[in-house]
Amino acid sequence: MSKINFTIGGLFAGVGGIELGFKKSGFDIAWANEIDKHSCITYRNNFSHQLIEGDIQKIKGKDLRPVDVLCGGFPCQAFSVAGYQKGFDDERGSMFFEIMRLVNELKKKPKVLFLENVKNFKSHDKGRTFQTVFNTIESNGYSVFFDVLNTCDYTSIPQNRERTFIICFKDEAGWEFSGKTNSMSYKFSKLFPPKRTTHNKPISDFLETKEVPESFFYRQDKYMYNELRKTMKSKDTLYQWRRQYVRENKNNKCPTLTANMGTGGHNVPLVVTDDGFRKLTPRECFSFQGFPRSYKLPTNMANSHLYKQAGNAVSVPLISKLATAIKKTISE
């Protein structure tokens, strides 16, 4: 029997975290789409398949190659507790409907939809936002699975990163009442959520092994130095600068990495080293998202863009674990 190569298409691809996770699980990437020009540069540094740079609203489904799995980590700022939570009233929140438009415009509907968003997505607007999404997907012929998963609970990465995952299988709505134990949905229900991990790697495994430039350190001339010195005592955990104070992560985990962590004043991840107090480098932030050291970061790009890309990314090993479950489901 010949090997089946399942394909994925990626929307709101960012720097390719979802795509990389599926690739590690044996999927072929047919194409991806991203609007941010800086993210596209990083993406192209690491992938050779078609990347459609531009606004999803200008893409026509009939022009895209049909895929087995359509992925989309659609913009989360409209639903995040860190944003204004305007939901569908924010143009970024309405991007979900662009995904569904393409689902119906493709020459063949995908077998699976794989969507990712912030933890707060399910509770936004007292659950009405999620119910709208759920009903829309189901009315288009998909059965829906969802859960909030934390990176440190399901991978060896010590990052607290809770995200909502919505995974949908075509043409099997109402499967739970049908008694079809051979259905894709029934099979997937045995694999999701995945098995929890038993341990996380130490923080030190994700830090630079080479000398870190002086620009990442906070010395006595920095206004927050005294606060850092007072609070930051342990080399076994990470800290976070929160505008006016330092938050210690006492569970020896990396705090949730955010898109604004590189702007200098808020959510800045900090570490104590033999050389002093410093913020994480962009490479370290990518490592805490599970990107391999071989992932190529542009050398001529401002760190602020790289921090944003890492903060907007997904945890690659968790994506890979979910992709493996999907592959097992649609292969049988």
Active site residues: 76
What is the maximal distance between C-alpha atoms in the chain? 68
Single-letter code of the amino acid located at 262: G
| Cβ neighbours for 210, distance < 8 A, ≥ 6 positions apart | none
Tokens, residue 155: 């991978």
Mutual angle of helices 37-44 and 303-312, in 10-degree steps? 80
Backbone angles phi, psi at 239, to 5 degrees: -120, 170
Nearest of 218, 310, 213 to residue 260 by alpha carbon? 310
Tokens, residue 34: 């991203």
